[in-house]
Structure 1
Amino acid sequence: MAIFTAAVVQAAPVLFDLEATLGKTADLIEQANGAELILFPEAFVSVYPRGLSFGTVVGSRSPEGRELWQRYWDASIAEGDAACNRLGAMAKAAKAFLAIGVNEKDLVSGTMYCSIFYFGPNGNFLGKHRKIKPTAQERIIWGEDDGSTLSSFDTSLGRMGGLICWENYMPAARMSMYQKGVQLYLAPTADARENWQHSMKHIALEGRCFVFGCNQFVTKNMYPNDLPSIADLQNQPDVMSNGGSVIIDPLGNVLAGSLWGTEGILTAEINLDLITQSKLDFDPIGHYARPDIFELNVKNQPATQKV
């Protein structure tokens, strides 16, 4: 089995600035030094709006919150738009598979989704995954997917797919990925807690797959000073997200990271033979699955795409 290099980018976008974020993305892809798979964090294009309320409380919304929503919408991306096509061009220039967390705006419904966009080394848009369950206050700003984008891709590097942030705590959602035979499990997140590391190791061991945990490093001074509702941030810490990106092999061994307290790029050599070796004694969809006892049916689940 061929060995390839994968990269996990831990960085912040230029918050609420789509154009500048795309420029920074291009620079970071170039710094990945020839990696054939490059992963960016949740909501990298162009902000995970940590600490912001959008002027919402139960029963009312503020004009300032609606203005902030406009800024947020304008910094977001739609499938097939010019920004999406630029990301594809970046993947093509790098000759890499690119997976990047985006705020995806649906131009028909006006709904925003937290999504992963996938691009191939030829620059093609391969598909996307929309988060099926936003957490807590995220439910104000993001819609819920219907399961039809629980996507996976059979690529020249291996089968890749993944879940976003706390979707990874959903046992049935994880199992839907395992059922597809995902070998390269992508987990962009906004969770910078130490306990998240245990979840990443557990998924690697449970799924017998390579796990790529990817988070942002964000400080409060990165937020534009002219944001509506900027007062929301007064009581927030100076470091809003401390990172914690990591790459883990199918036996739970850390190959790179965890990276804390700075922006940076983690790289690791990936050898899919380790997946075969790890399945000597455990396989979540094989001899350990007990289909005579258990059955999981996932509504609207798409087939794995051959790319």
Structure 2
Amino acid sequence: MGDQFPKVKVAAVHAASPFLDREAGVEKTCALIAEAAAGGAELIVFPETFIPGYPVWIWTHTPAQGSAFFIRLYANSIVVPSEATDRIGAAARKASAWVAVGISERDGGTLYNTLLYFDDSGRIVGKHRKLVPTCVERTVWGRGDGSGLKLIETPFGKLGGLICWEHSMDLARYALTSQGEQIHIAAWPAGSAVTHDPSSGVFDDLTEAAARHHAAAGQCFVINVQSCLDAATVKDLGFEGRPEMVREGGGWTAIIAPTGQILAGPNRDDEAILHAELDLSLIAHFKYVSDAAGHYARPDVLQLLVNFEPQPIMTPHFAADLSSHDIQGAGAGEKRSEIDPPHSEHRSGTRKRETAP
């Protein structure tokens, strides 16, 4: 009879964030989790920085003009873990659903563009920080590291994700593909709501091209999810009645098969929850043609080096625990460093001594 491949019902949430309001954003997220789960979703995905909303002003204001908005973003960003993440986790647990939600994360004095993962028991099981904030995003967010490129094991397959223009980083995409990614989350903002030409579909076209290409190139399902902007956000930004700058709506949300075909959507402008059932046996159909991390790879020609280690800004360096004998010995002609490196033999109890010339 052979192996049976799982099926999973997923939901892509296309919605507007309560702008720069963490508490309202968490409340809306929890309500949408319940709504999506009522439709049968076992995996529910939200857009880039859904809480507390995407910093649209970085594209429309000077840094000086945007400073007041940044203070609000800083104050409403999410510490992980915190009461805010506890509430989202509780909603995931109640819904018996896995959840991925984009947040602006605050860690110390720096903000990060983060994709946060919860399992169906409400535990935080993964976190990906955008590796390189795009263009003027660097005025509000710091850089992530490779620790967020590890896949998440779920009962229905291997889950990974990237944020917005990370999809132009072919090596980042292949880092996920090479681990056997089966379901990919592509999180974006409402880019098509911020344009000098409302009739232009450039951002939507680029999004669609990136999402469908990753599905085919990585032989995986892609849940491409974007937000939209509501009237309150447009007014808050100061662009009410100026659609040539910022308009209501925006976004391109769809669920895509490994063949590149669209299973649900695309949805634009209006709030909606897209549902689809993913049959992971479809991956095997496309692997027959091309397995980018297997028979269609050429490791003798091309290989990828990935650093999955976190990159802390500080590594403890411990002072040596000197005894009076050590001090006397040094005075008798032995010299030593006053501070041993963290992994020196002294720390394991078998310290070497150096003899002075």
Calculate the TM-score normalised by the size of structure 2: 0.77
Higher radius of gyration, 1 or 2:
2
Runs of 5+ consecutive residues of structure 2 not aligned to the other structure = 193-203, 311-357
- Mark the CA change 1:236 to 1:51 in structure 2 (over 3 Å): closer, same or farther: farther
What residue is the counterpart of 1:13 in the other structure? 17
2:234, 2:246 within 8 Å by CA — same for their partners in 1?
Answer: no
Q: Whole-Å Cα distance in 1 between the matches of residues 309 and 297 of structure 2?
A: 19
- 1:210 is aligned to 221
Aligned residue in 1 for 2:68 = 67
1:301–1:152 distance in 2 versus 1, CA, 3 Å:
farther
Number of equivalences = 291
Partner of 1:37: 43
Contact kept in structure 2, 1:114 and 1:142, CA below 8 Å = yes
Secondary structure at the aligned position of 2:135 is classed as coil
Aligned to 1:184: 183
Give the letter aligned to residue 286 of structure 1: G
Contact 2:184 2:223 (C-alpha < 8 Å) held by counterparts: yes
The residue that corresponds to 1:223 in the other structure is: 233
Output the aligned Cα RMSD: 2.0
Question: What are the Cα deviations for residues 166-195 of structure 1, in whole angstroms up to 9, with x where unaligned?
Answer: 001110010001011110000011244223
Structure-1 residue corresponding to 2:118 = 119
**TM superposition shift of 1:66:** 3.5
What SS class does the counterpart of residue 285 from structure 2 fall into?
helix
Shift of 1:10: 0.2
- Measured against aligned partners, the alpha-carbon deviations of 1:109-141 in whole angstroms (never above 9, x if no partner) come to x10000000000011110200000111110100
Deviant stretches of 4+, over 6 Å: none
Could you report, residue by residue, the CA deviation over 1:63-111 in whole angstroms, capped at 9, with x for unpaired residues? x6433222111221011110011111111011011000000000x2x10
Q: 1:266 aligns with which of 267, 274, 294?
A: 274
Distance 1:54 1:255, change over 3 A: closer
> Which residue type is aligned with residue 264 of structure 2?
A
Alignment-derived partner of residue 166 in structure 2:
167
Please, which of 4, 9, 13 is the counterpart of residue 8 of structure 2?
A: 4
| 1:222 Cα deviation from its structure 2 partner | 2.2
Unmatched tracts of structure 1, length 5 or more: 303-307
User: For 1:34 and 1:23, how far apart are their aligned partners in 2?
Assistant: 20
Shift in CA distance, 289/301, structure 1 to aligned 2, threshold 3 Å: farther
* Alignment partners' CA distance in 2, 1:266 and 1:217: 14
Aligned counterparts of 1:73 and 1:104: Cα–Cα separation in 2: 9
The answer (yes or no) to whether the contact 1:50–1:240 under 8 Å persists in 2 is no
One of 16, 21, 26 as aligned partner of 1:22: 26
Q: Is 122-131 or 231-240 further displaced after alignment? A: 231-240
Contact preservation (8 Å) 1:98, 1:118: yes
The whole-number CA distance in structure 2 between the counterparts of 1:174 and 1:79 is: 25
The secondary structure found in structure 1 opposite 2:78 is: coil
Could you tell me how far apart the structure 1 residues matched to 2:66 and 2:217 are? 42
1:8–1:53 CA distance, 2 compared to 1 (3 A)? closer
Partner of 1:305: none
* Secondary structure, aligned partner of 1:247: strand
What is the rounded CA distance, in whole Å, between the counterparts of 2:165 and 2:234 in structure 1?
A: 27
TM-score normalised over the length of structure 1 = 0.89
Aligned-residue identity in percent:
37
Q: How does 1:86-125 map to 2 (within 5 A)?
A: 86-106=87-107, 108=108, 110-125=109-124
C-alpha distance 16-186 of structure 1, shift in aligned 2 (>3 A): same
CA distance in 2, matches of 1:175, 1:115: 20
Q: Distance in 1 between matches of 2:31 and 2:25?
A: 10
Match in the other structure for 1:82: 83
CA separation in 2, counterparts of 1:265 and 1:65?
A: 32
Instruction: Find the partner of 2:57 among 51, 59, 73.
Output: 51
Residues 4-49 of structure 1: CA deviation (Å, up to 9, x unaligned): 2100000011111111111111111111123000000000001101
Please, which of 277, 285, 296 is the counterpart of residue 277 of structure 1? 285
**What is the CA–CA distance in structure 2 between the aligned matches of 1:169 and 1:67, rounded to whole Å?**
31
